[in-house]
Amino acid sequence: MMLVAVAQNNSGFQLVEKQEKKQLDILYDGKLLTSYCFYDSIMKPFLYPINTLDGITITRGYPIAPKAGDRTDHPHHVGIWMNYESVNGLDFWNNSTAIPSDRKDKYGTIRHEKIVEKNAGKDKALLVTTADWITPNGKTLLKEKTTYNFFVRDGEFFIDRSSTLTATDQPVVFKDVKDGFFAIRLARELELPSKEKSEFVDASGNKTTVPALSNEQVTGMYYNSDGVKGDSVWGTKARWAMLKGIKENKEITIGIFDHPSNPGYPTYWHARGYGLFALNPLGRKVFSNGKEELNYTLQPNTSVRFHYRVMVSSGIKITNEKMNGEADAFAKAN
């Protein structure tokens, strides 16, 4: 009897659940693009790492897998995530293992509940998850249902995140604050060059210093849809922003797109030179210097949806025209 070895078909997307690691890997043509992770130590679900189609990691390694040269500030900045600094007075954004136990009563946690659906095809994959936004004493303030659509088009990797938040039995107030809402923390090479240290203070008065480091191989630059660039993108409103840089001798572009159906569209950008690339549609009083105020409130048993797209490109020249076209296409997506 002749035994014939059958090669495993690794073409297209594959979703590999690893329950013991509390993660689900998203692979394309047999290579890891990202993982959906819900580790107890990180206080929220997140995607990590984020890789280009040709295998270049664009996210910072610390605190999960520190790499030489990584910054070690803001341990709550991990991969791609979504949360907020003031939800009924609780800080979900800054929660991490670095918070001392005697201050934990001021912080909230987003606890993964379950994977509802997963499906993988040739050029796209679907992952649907649920989670609870909980207080320190275990009460659920918000029920979250998130749909991730991963897809590959024209040599680029896209991630769509659509999250519906539903208040439980009491009003939920998202106070206008700086730290939020949808974010990615980038590798050192993709930061903006800087010669000065910086200090940042959160709503609870915790101070974080970002030291000045060597700018060798640091190549990042922000751009937005209104022609603003560099550190000046912080605090601007725009329907998209992108960061360009060089890593492993390839031109890398990360684009983030706001959807017209979102509260606060077009969003404010909380884009920092040290590698935090975020948007915040809810902190309008901060970013407008008091000219606007939102204090977005969900009444009991009501819902709101937030819908964002991330584009990850390697070795392809991305123009403003290309970004505008992608934004137009995303605006037509459900």
- DSSP H stretches of helix in 169-243: none
Amino acid occupying residue 283? G
In three-state secondary structure terms, 256 is strand
Cα distance between residue 334 and residue 330, in whole Å: 8
| Cα 239 off chain centre by | 16
Cα distance between residue 272 and residue 275, in whole Å: 6
Cα distance between residue 150 and residue 124, in whole Å: 6
For the 13-331 domain, the top CATH level (class) is: mainly beta
Buried b (16+ CB within 10 A) or exposed e, 100-135: eeeeeeebbbbbbbebeebebeeebbbbbbbbbbbb
- pLDDT per residue as tens digits for the range 143-194: 999 999 999 999 999 999 999 999 999 999 999 999 999 999 999 999 999 7
Res 214: pLDDT? 66
Tokens for 189, please give them.
């090479």
pTM of the model: 0.93
Cα distance between residue 289 and residue 255, in whole Å: 26
Contact indicator for 267, 286 with CB cutoff of 8 Å: no
Tokens for 20, please give them.
């013991």
Tokens for 232, please give them.
């000046």
The residues, ordered by sequence, that sit 6+ positions from 1 with a Cβ below 8 Å of its Cβ are none
Buried b (16+ CB within 10 A) or exposed e, 172-184: bebbbbbbbbbbb
Cα–Cα distance list, 87 to 44, 78, 99, 174, 288 (Å): 14, 20, 18, 5, 20
Contact indicator for 123, 137 with CB cutoff of 8 Å: no
Amino acid occupying residue 153? R
The residues, ordered by sequence, that sit 6+ positions from 236 with a Cβ below 8 Å of its Cβ are 224, 226, 228, 268, 269
The residue extents of the domains of the chain are 13-331
- pLDDT per residue as tens digits for the range 84-119: 999 999 999 999 999 999 999 999 999 999 999 999
- pLDDT per residue as tens digits for the range 217-259: 899 999 999 999 999 999 999 999 999 999 999 999 999 999 9
Q: Tell me what percent of the residues of the chain surpass a pLDDT of 90.
A: 88
Determine the average pLDDT of the residues in 112-135.
98
| pLDDT higher than 50, residue 5 | no
